[in-house]
Structure 1
């Protein structure tokens, strides 16, 4: 593959001459992507002159937005260090993400290394024949001694590639500048063959860059992003950026998203954009990551201020950082007219239904799960004995919203709490639980200590009908509710092994566990696709024999089936809602009452 004729050295020199918006960078990064088909790059970092007897150099052990320690340094090979004359310097590896270079005289230090980048789904680093995604946490080393110094990045890439970042661009091609490493690490670079759009909202510049072919509609995405980004001002006053970049990867399977201070990256399988449910998942994710620009990036819990890139950053408020963002994401879509009230309430009903089948809600508080997020592994054990900073954090945020609306007679809401956090506790400040309770008392003229202890510091189990009745809503499985037989176990995808067995369900009580392999029910073989239908052949109270392999031993378990609602949980209007109930609904979601006199959703205009 032909590489741009502009060499790294000339690019750097040109950058130094032509960057007029920022001083010449004290820390200089060069990334040479000469073998993209092999996922390889050559990286060098030049640090300013130091008179210390050693220079500590680090690659982070985690990336922002993912509260998990990652083996990022495993992608580094051929580490070397030289002084300003090009002489080799001695060094040693002092920790998993740390190198220490020995110095015997004052000098600049350049470290270089080969980087392997084939981790698209982790959203840290990925290099292929058509693009590179570079998050500095997995690509660019730093020295704590120069973390606050300005930085400059110069890329050498194939001729047809274009490069984008939330960072300021220099006049040299494929080059960027930032005030310090903390901005660099939160401003990923997307370079490659992609599609690009730009738009404005409320006077701010936005860009959309999409890598990969797929069944997306760029015009629709831009139209909806314009609406959503404008509606952010229903929560906050002002924007913490002048320009914002949406990076979208249409992939062969990787999915997920990560927020940054001036940008986000969103990944979705390439043909998962067109169907309405798929598109809503995408645009809701975009809304979530955009909200993070305020909640987490502009203000965040004090345990994460400043970021410590070499170890866990502990906080009991990750549920607010992530769960509140999840709570607001669809509200922005609803207020913007991108999502209908019916779709909003359908999504909320699914979240409640999952919570009701998460026994961990009886054991773990959202504060405790926040502290345990760094070692959370998910799976069967987690759902049975834990909660989630996203899903349960969403529900605690909703409960607090309703509490504030009631306590203030609709004069203040959860949005006002976040508006004040943005106004008064922006980085480099941080907030804690005491500060949150002080703000709540300021808003409602009421002590929230007891509420906090019950809802945040203790396991929660909400009476959702009691909460929703205040907004004229009720939970329902249909006007003629039916029941069906309930086993309490589900199979892994394309497998006969059980992936999840709900604690205290009939399957659990019979001794069936995740990992057991299903063979037959009542002596008859069961297929993966026919499992649910086979359980549906029975009635609640029936005893069935489940034959399975447990620890490679053939066993038969006798299970007494219980009952469960037969249908989808819905959120509907109460009969004859009062004016006060409609008023709370409208204050809560910012849209008109969506039901007609018969309790059906009004047709969208």
Structure 2
């Protein structure tokens, strides 16, 4: 069974499909206690004077240049007879091997793998997680040739990957390097589950103990894996592998060709809010199997592993995936309407309190993702391709539903992208606009300019009203103080992590990095800081004592007001037929509210 239908035409278009050569990788993991392994690569005969060998400088799914080559030592190259070949480093992640005559080339090197959180490589006594981008070198000359991987592992280890299983234990086969790099390997002491959904085989692999309920996870993943047809016509895979790390701190996830890796602290599964975070992530990565892995923006086709690959459509690749993830869970009956709208409410609230939405567009944020370091400046002067990409997708979805009188939604856009722009094609902005016009009969140039290439601030009240929804707060007509101050988060740390642009604190000249020590001459603590501010009312003037550049100063600060209570989304009390129909076309569910606009369940 081939790893993926996608793999077949990816190799066939980018590279020669008729080559009989193959690249063989061997990795020795039998002494994992110091996070070390030995890697050997055998390249086919080359007639070039110089054989270039590369280790990628980034990994798919994380749009940032990483120092992956720093984990390489003891690099050696020999010819087919075992004689040493001279070589030189020519760039970050690049080695050039000098050839005096045509020969096969064997490369070996030591690999250090102790970076779990970036989901590239990690080796210890219990397992090894291997993403080829940080483990296996390649030569551009043989990038399209078949790949074989064999591993020497400690006794008792089990090996899993989205790749096709090789003839021997702990071995895998891939059509080419691009399949290898998008098919990570989890080998070690792990727990494996198999299940079937919609005629396809699925696997769930847990590494690490934790408070997860594996049976519940399998049950919900089965539901999710059967719901993709609400967006796409078919599947780009025959088998899919969910890999889960229950860790001691690392968290995050990465999509791959027909697999995903999800990391969560080992005791962050049981509580409902924690489980929702996990299962939403699983849905997100599963959706990526289409959006990004089966079709993606032109700037990422083909992947250039040696430099940043720019595109202004990352918001669509990532933000739209975030937008669909909970819709899939809702349709699969994994989450309730109340949980769905609670998540949407948080996103709306976060956007309202993000000053950067007035400065940066999602298009610019997509181009900036490769250099985005986050922090105070990013919040005040930028947006996020995930969160604001979600809201751009929401706005586009509602606009398309309105323009087509509920005949078409944003799902149809992605269905068409999958039909028309499967790899090795890539789509661009004009392609997306063309699909929007074909669905609606209208030109979306003006909308695109207002919402994508320009900073946008949505009128959430009027937007959500189309679906019979209303924004409320916990206590109507009541307000509380607003300062714009946000601490770093530690129990003893009064250093400011963020000061919101144009907030009272910003206007007073307080900045991120300042350390607060007192309010109105009385000492404050990190634990009691929030309650201390609640002693005041909007409009009160207070004096904040703080250290700025190690100098103690006093700053007058006038507190403003904001609505009291959490932002929530609920139904209107008397929804119209049109509003109910809009919500049904949007989410695929019946009206979930009672006569008072409260959730029925």
Superposition TM-score tier, normalisation by shorter sequence: over 0.9
Cα distance in 2, alignment partners of residues 51 and 401 from structure 1:
54
Deviations 1:523-561 (A, max 9, x none): 111111111111100000000111111111111111000
- Report the equivalent of 1:559: 557
- Report the equivalent of 2:367: 371
- Report the equivalent of 1:578: 576
- Report the equivalent of 1:482: 478
- Report the equivalent of 1:505: 503
Q: Secondary structure at the match of 2:70?
A: helix
- Report the equivalent of 1:15: none
- Report the equivalent of 1:534: 532
Q: Structure 2: 5+ residue runs without aligned partners?
A: 1-17
Q: Which of 273, 277, 299 is the equivalent residue of 2:295? A: 299
Q: Which of 285, 288, 295 is the equivalent residue of 2:281? A: 285
Cα distance in 2, alignment partners of residues 194 and 465 from structure 1:
48
- Report the Cα offset of residue 599 of structure 1: 1.4
- Report the equivalent of 1:44: 40
Cα distance in 2, alignment partners of residues 497 and 478 from structure 1:
30
- Report the equivalent of 1:472: 468
- Report the equivalent of 2:545: 547
Q: How does 1:273-352 map to 2 (within 5 A)?
A: 273-352=269-348
Q: Structure 1: 5+ residue runs without aligned partners?
A: 1-21
Q: Secondary structure at the match of 2:151?
A: strand
Q: Secondary structure at the match of 1:121?
A: coil
Q: Is the 8 A contact 2:21 2:44 kept in 1?
A: no
- Report the equivalent of 1:141: 137
Cα distance in 1, alignment partners of residues 26 and 370 from structure 2:
32
Cα distance in 1, alignment partners of residues 364 and 484 from structure 2:
26
Cα distance in 2, alignment partners of residues 546 and 205 from structure 1:
61
- Report the equivalent of 2:213: 217
- Report the equivalent of 1:69: 65
Q: Secondary structure at the match of 2:29?
A: strand
The count of aligned residue pairs is: 582
- Report the equivalent of 1:360: 356
Q: Secondary structure at the match of 2:219?
A: helix
Q: How does 1:153-172 map to 2 (within 5 A)?
A: 153-172=149-168
- Report the Cα offset of residue 481 of structure 1: 3.3
Cα distance in 1, alignment partners of residues 19 and 255 from structure 2:
28
Asked if 1:100 is matched to 2:117, the reply is no
Q: Secondary structure at the match of 1:216?
A: coil
Asked if 1:516 is matched to 2:527, the reply is no
Q: Is the 8 A contact 2:76 2:84 kept in 1?
A: yes
Deviations 1:68-95 (A, max 9, x none): 0000000000000000110000000000
Q: Is the 8 A contact 2:74 2:109 kept in 1?
A: yes
- Report the equivalent of 1:593: 591
- Report the Cα offset of residue 232 of structure 1: 1.0
Q: Secondary structure at the match of 2:516?
A: strand
| Structure 1 moving runs of 4+ over 2 Å | 22-25, 478-481
Q: Is the 8 A contact 2:474 2:564 kept in 1?
A: no
- Report the Cα offset of residue 51 of structure 1: 1.1
Cα distance in 1, alignment partners of residues 255 and 467 from structure 2:
32
Q: Is the 8 A contact 1:34 1:40 kept in 2?
A: no
Cα distance in 1, alignment partners of residues 526 and 31 from structure 2:
43
- Report the Cα offset of residue 34 of structure 1: 2.5
Q: Secondary structure at the match of 1:34?
A: coil
Cα distance in 1, alignment partners of residues 19 and 197 from structure 2:
30
Q: What RMSD over aligned residues (CA atoms) do the two structures have, in Å?
A: 1.0
